[in-house]
Amino acid sequence: MQSERTIRLFAGAREAVGSDTARVSLPEAATAEEVLQVLARSHPQLSGLLPSCRLVAAQEYLDPAARVPADAELALIPPVSGG
């Protein structure tokens, strides 16, 4: 079963997409790595940035092989540059 999910976007990713969110259709029990692959296909304007991005669920960084929890808020985190 596919599920429709919203992923929050920031900084260069937000600028590339022209929106502060991206809608994606994810396979059941998708891993963080698979979510990035789905994003690369649905939003090709992110392709340059995606290899260096991390996925966050419920404000926690996910390992690439970790499954994405069902109800958590998702966010795409490009390399950070605070300070």
78 binding other proteins? (CB under 8 A): yes
Strands 3-8 and 21-26 turn out to be antiparallel
Distance, in Å, from the CA atom of 13 to the CA atom of 33, rounded to the nearest integer, reads 17
Q: Name the residue nearer to other proteins (CB basis): 44 or 60.
A: 60
Pick the binder of other proteins from 1, 28, 41, 59 (CB under 8 A).
59
From residue 81, alpha-carbon distances to 15, 24, 25, 26 in Å are 16, 26, 30, 29
Q: Of residues 2, 27, 61, 64, which one binds other proteins by CB under 8 A?
A: 61
Q: Is 77 in the site for other proteins (CB under 8 A)?
A: yes
Among 27, 44, 64, 79, binds other proteins (CB under 8 A): 79
